[in-house]
Amino acid sequence: MKTVIIGIAGGTGSGKSTFTNRLKEEFRDDVAVLYHDNYYRAQDDIPFEERKKMNYDHPDAFETELLLEQLKELREGRAVRCPVYDYALHTRSQDVIVVEPKKVILVEGILVLADARLRKLLDVKIYVEADADERILRRVIRDVKERGRDIEGVVEQYLTTVKPMHYLYVQPTRVLADVVINSGMNQVAFELVRNHIRRILEEPS
């Protein structure tokens, strides 16, 4: 079975997760999804207060080596046990998600295009962008409502690590994308990618 891997990158709050989840809802179990965030390194040996202050927007915060290994396993037709990250505890949970090999695999995350080894595995590279003001507002709402953070902590993290890392490591990958989308709700872009995936799924194995 030929596997097509689609990378979906972009800054925090840009709409990349929205775009990815729309595709997942469209194709359900016909596609597999791996979230780069789940590959944040385990930090059980670091006190919680120190974990809260870590830089989670630097490439070194991710165990991308494991993601690469599991993508290769999926491409070879073998299921993988994907880690699950606990945002409230700032470390990996004890849970895993079993991901089965599929003809189309979506890989989503802010730094999906930043690692040359990962880019080499991607057949399609998508970058989702949005205005900086929109991105920070979306992040505040998400982190407070979904991840149990307080507003002061979200703002401090944004100013000290998220914003500078975006300009250092995320935004420069825009030029490496095959497709640049303004917003995860861009219907024209969604239909183009949806139709591309549909053609792949309809091809004989």
- What does R_g of the chain's alpha carbons equal in angstroms? 17
Residue 106 φ then ψ, to 5°: -100, 135
Do residues 104 and 4 lie in contact, with contact meaning Cβ atoms separated by under 8 Å?
A: yes
Residues 6+ apart with CB under 8 A from 169: 57, 58, 59, 111, 114
The answer to whether residue 150 scores a pLDDT higher than 80 is: no
Output the pTM of the full model.
Answer: 0.91
Q: Which amino acid is at 58?
A: H
Q: Looking at residue 160, what is its pLDDT?
A: 85
Q: What CATH number belongs to 4-195? A: 3.40.50.300
Q: What is the mean pLDDT of residues 30-37?
A: 97
Residue 75 has which token pair? 């491409």
Q: What is the mean pLDDT of residues 132-151?
A: 76
The answer to whether residue 148 scores a pLDDT higher than 80 is: no
Q: Please state which of the ranges 37-51, 61-75, 93-107, 128-142 shows the lowest mean pLDDT.
A: 128-142
Q: Taking the domains of the chain in order of start, what are their residue ranges?
A: 4-195
Q: Looking at residue 144, what is its pLDDT?
A: 76
Q: Looking at residue 129, what is its pLDDT?
A: 93
Which burial class, exposed, middle or buried, applies to 84 when counting CB atoms under 10 A from its CB (0-12, 13-18, 19+)? middle
The answer to whether residue 190 scores a pLDDT higher than 80 is: yes
The answer to whether residue 149 scores a pLDDT higher than 90 is: no
Name beta bridge partners: 81: 98
The answer to whether residue 12 scores a pLDDT higher than 90 is: no
Q: What is the mean pLDDT of residues 94-121?
A: 97
Average pLDDT in the chain: 92
Q: Looking at residue 187, what is its pLDDT?
A: 95
Residue 67 has which token pair? 């993601």
Do residues 14 and 182 lie in contact, with contact meaning Cβ atoms separated by under 8 Å?
A: no
Q: Looking at residue 156, what is its pLDDT?
A: 81
